[in-house]
Amino acid sequence: MTDNRTLDGVNRQLLVLYATETGTARETADRISRECRRAYFQCRVCSMDTYLPEDLISESLVLFVVATTGSGAEPRAMTPLWNLLLRSDLPHDLFEDLDFCVFGLGDSAYERFCWPAKKLSKRLLSLGAREICPRGEGDDQHRLGLDGALEPWIEHLLETLFHSYPLDPDVGKLSPPCKPAPRVITTDMASAPETLEPYGADPKYFDVAARCNRRITAEDWFQDVRHFEFISDRDIEYNPGDVAVIHPVATGAEVDSFLLLMGWANVADVPFSILHSMLDQTLPDRIPCVTTLRVLFTHHLDFNAVPRRSFFQILRYFTTDDSERERLDEFLSLEGADELYEYCQLVKRTIREVLSEFRSARIPRDYIFDVFPPLRPRHFSIANSAKRHPREIHLCVAIVKYRTKLKIPRKGVCTSYLANLRPDDQLQIRVEKGLIKLPDDPHIPVICVGPGTGIAPMRAVIEDRIDAGSNATTLYFGCRSERKDHHYGVEWEAYAESKRITYRVAFSRDGPEGTKRTYVQDLILKDKDSVWDLLSDQRGTLIISGSSNKMPAAVRGAISNIAEDCGKMLKEDALKFVNEMEREGRLIEECWS
């Protein structure tokens, strides 16, 4: 049975707004929308950055799916709506006719778990809206990842919707799960252009050519970090802290091998048209109207992703072997949750590897967008000032390579693509606004804390401020070894020698064996008097950039300790001082997982 339900004559509309950085919230929104058909709702799925915030006042039922970025910030797509909701002149009953619910995505390893979702829920309630279903919080730390919370939350949501918005008595219960209708209809083309464009038109993207692809870590170092430079024939506008968005491209050899595995090698280059038929499901960005399987799996669909539970649910519909179907049933049962985790998430088994074991699966072409997740564009902090390097974009990128628990080598799709670029190779980039906002006065102190590849946006900040005549920037950089991974160390030392910046660096592995390792937060504590003067007396800005693991919290903790010590504050007041800096825009985190 296929889910071809229509809602003709039934006005049951549900708006699903999502805010994502990596694409997971978008996939979650699609999943929720698809399941809402069982409660006879027709969903409209929109990214928050394509939705007019002012229109929210006219909605009656909205479901928000909100990711968490860095150490607890909202995704960039949520910022316009969030800024509107924060206005102090909004009446307390503004959304008295709005019913809503929220599902947040986060990682409980961080203090501000699902923080944007919690803030959004609280703010909407304060403006008179009614939360009809308790907030859901998907946790990356769960053995099933986000699905551990999403699956039961969806069932609770459907029961709530079904009973809160009753239908005709003839419709007595939720419809059972069944095979969803495909989100697209594909049709072979009798004739097609000789050359098919891999992407649909998007004015936000522009062409650049690779000029530099240089390793900046030692050749014998375990981590390969590269400095990239791209040049354009047009002016590019961006500010320090903005990010470059790059769409990865799978290698030809990997795509050929995958198409052969799927039995699609002979039809890989047959052109077909795409009609978006199920409008409550999204499609990957920049999908062309006419394409081929080879183009799609090279540029748009990811067969190297670790599949979520929903992948196995839909795979079962296309598996014909009894033993394979039985194994999938075990994975999808409550009792089989641990087995699925050990088979898939624990060892990071990819979709391609799963399909190589479930050989009877025959996936119809119309269902490829339902089975395979989008090949997501990646975001990289821009590592240069546009004022100093017009028509250029520089990046500092760690090339992703590791081995799974099964000792299988893995490579990052996008970083491998970048690592293989040669001079004059062409690619497309778009620029998105980042979270960093510098003081208007270049003489106001700025403290930059950017260990590892977190140095990328700090390089842009420092170039921008030096060229504006500032010598009031302090850089705290941290790495393991002065000789191995001291990113742009020659630049920082030259600036420090000419008194254009103050440079402090921690080489955590260069000390004698058995001695305590030194990190950026240790240097900040050591410099407590000057740091307190810069942040309190001179009301400077602190910018933290890098991996959102323990470092950002440790730096915040160091500032709080300095406030206690140098500011003679109680612990509670010191924490308030740090939080107040953040509210004033004087503490900025540009961090990533």
Residue 415 contacts by C-beta under 8 Å, 6 or more apart in sequence?
378, 397, 398, 399, 400
pLDDT, residue 170, reads 64
| Residue 195: band (very low, low, confident or very high) from pLDDT cuts 50, 70, 90 | confident
Q: What is the pLDDT of residue 584?
A: 94
448, 543 contact by CB (below 8 A) = yes
The answer for residues whose C-beta is within 8 angstroms of residue 552's C-beta and 6 or more apart is 70, 71, 544, 546, 589, 591
- Determine how β-strand 61-66 pairs with β-strand 179-180: unpaired
Q: What is the DSSP string of 287-343?
A: --SEE-HHHHHHHTB-SSSPPPHHHHHHHHTT---HHHHHHHHHHHSSTTHHHHIII
Token pair of 172, please?
């007595």
pLDDT at 22 over 90: no
From the list 210, 205, 197, 208, the residue with the least C-alpha distance to 245 is 205
pLDDT at 207: 94
Q: Which of 174-183, 248-257, 393-402, 434-443 has the lowest mean pLDDT?
A: 174-183
pLDDT tens per residue across span 383-396: 999 999 999 999 99
3-state SS, residue 420: coil
Neighbours of 62 (CB within 10 A): 20
CA-CA distance, 212 to 422, in Å (whole number)? 8
Cβ contacts of 51 within 8 Å, gap of 6 or more: 17, 81
Run of H or E including 411? strand 409-411
pTM, rounded to two decimals: 0.91
pLDDT of residue 173: 73
| Average pLDDT of the chain, as a whole number | 93
End-to-end Cα distance, the chain: 40
Beta strands in 32-189 (DSSP E): 42-47, 61-66, 99-106, 130-131, 136-139, 179-180, 184-188
**How far, in Å, CA of 348 to CA of 405, rounded?**
8
Closest CA to 389 of 263, 520, 515, 236: 236
Q: How confident is the model at residue 214 (pLDDT cuts 50, 70, 90)?
A: very high
Residue 362: pLDDT above 50? Answer: yes
Q: How far apart are CA 78 and CA 75, in angstroms?
A: 6
Would you tell me how many other CB atoms lie within 10 Å of the CB of residue 505? 19
d(CA 447, CA 10): 58
Q: Are strands 179-180 and 446-449 parallel, antiparallel or unpaired?
A: unpaired
pLDDT of residue 515: 86
Whole-number Cα distances in Å, 440 to 239, 243, 443: 13, 21, 9
4 has a pLDDT exceeding 60: no
Convert the pLDDT of each residue in 453-464 to its tens digit: 999 999 999 999
pLDDT of residue 224: 97
pLDDT confidence bin for 3, thresholds 50/70/90 = low
pLDDT, residue 209, reads 97
Cβ proximity of 72 and 115 under 8 Å: yes
Q: What pLDDT sits at residue 169? A: 67
Q: pLDDT-based confidence at 190, cuts 50/70/90?
A: confident
Work out the average pLDDT over 515-521.
93
Q: Residue 11's pLDDT is what?
A: 60
Q: Kindly give the pairing relationship between strand 243-246 and strand 179-180.
A: unpaired
Three-state secondary structure call for residue 89: coil
Q: Is the pLDDT of residue 529 over 90?
A: yes
CA angle, 358 as apex, 4 and 343 as ends, to 5°? 105
Mean pLDDT for 18-45 is 93
Neighbour count for residue 249 (Cβ, 10 Å): 18
The answer to whether 281 touches 416, Cβ cutoff 8 Å, is no
Flag whether pLDDT at 405 surpasses 90.
Answer: no
**CA 201-279-285 angle, 5° bins:** 25
Contacts of residue 94, Cβ cutoff 8 Å, sequence gap at least 6: 57, 127, 128
CA gap 3, 331 in Å, rounded: 23
Lookup result for tokens 């209809």:
185
Helical pair 551-566 and 571-583, crossing angle rounded to 10 deg? 120
Q: What percent of the chain has pLDDT over 70?
A: 97
Confidence check: pLDDT of 580 > 70: yes
Angle (CA) 531 536 539, round 5°: 105
Using CA atoms, how far apart are residues 281 and 26, in angstroms rounded to an integer?
10
Average pLDDT over residues 357-377: 96
Task: Identify the residue with better confidence: 195 or 12.
Answer: 12
For residue 171, name the pLDDT band (cuts at 50, 70, 90).
low
- Token pair recorded at residue 563: 């406030």
- pLDDT over 60 (residue 5): no
Write down the pLDDT at residue 67: 96
Alpha-carbon span 249 to 413, nearest angstrom: 7
pLDDT in tens, 81-114: 999 999 999 999 999 999 999 999 998 888 889 9
Please, which residues bridge with residue 230 across strands? 210, 393
Average pLDDT value for residue range 446-474: 97
Q: Which of 160-169, 316-325, 433-442 is predicted least confidently? A: 160-169
Helix residue ranges per DSSP H, 407-534? 413-419, 455-467, 489-497, 520-526, 528-532
Q: Supply the pLDDT for residue 109.
A: 81
Rounded to the nearest angstrom, the gap between the alpha carbon of residue 334 and the centroid of all alpha carbons in its chain is: 29
The predicted pLDDT at position 307 comes to 94
Q: Does the pLDDT of residue 6 top 70, yes or no?
A: no
Please report the pLDDT score of residue 196 as a whole number.
Answer: 77
Structure tokens at 468: 């504006």
Please name which of 140, 205, 262, 212 lies closest in space to residue 430, comparing C-alpha atoms: 205
Note the pLDDT tens digit of each residue in 330-348: 999 988 988 999 999 899 9
Q: What is d(CA 542, CA 587) in angstroms, rounded to the nearest whole number?
A: 5
Q: What local confidence, expressed as pLDDT, does residue 1 receive?
A: 47
